[in-house]
Amino acid sequence: MSTEDIKIGFAYDEPVQQSPSDTVRSVAAEYEDARTIEWMRATLQELGTVIDLPWGPDIVSRMSSVHLDVIFNITEATQGRNRESLIPALAEACGVPC
């Protein structure tokens, strides 16, 4: 399999704009900014075809609509104690390395 054949799912959160009132403890501080997301996407594109998977309520249908060879995950998700493990759990259930 050549690198052009590898389909990489890139799971991330849409960038959150911090307001001047946000503190270091703000949830927004956990999310990557647009520049970092673009840098990661460009780096992954050197390894194969990147399929964007921004976090959202339809992520399961988007993940299952395309055959992925691997998922690169940086999502924080939105709520719940296990929010950072949602994409790895979905990937495992689908048999896709994450």
Per-residue pLDDT of 17-49, as tens digits, reads: 555 555 545 555 566 778 889 999 999 999 999
CA-CA distance, 16 to 21, in Å (whole number)?
14
Cβ count near 63 (within 10 Å): 20
Q: Where are the alpha helices (DSSP H) in the chain?
A: 34-45, 59-64, 86-94
- Does the pLDDT of residue 52 top 60, yes or no? yes
Query: Helices marked H in 51-85 — which ranges?
Result: 59-64
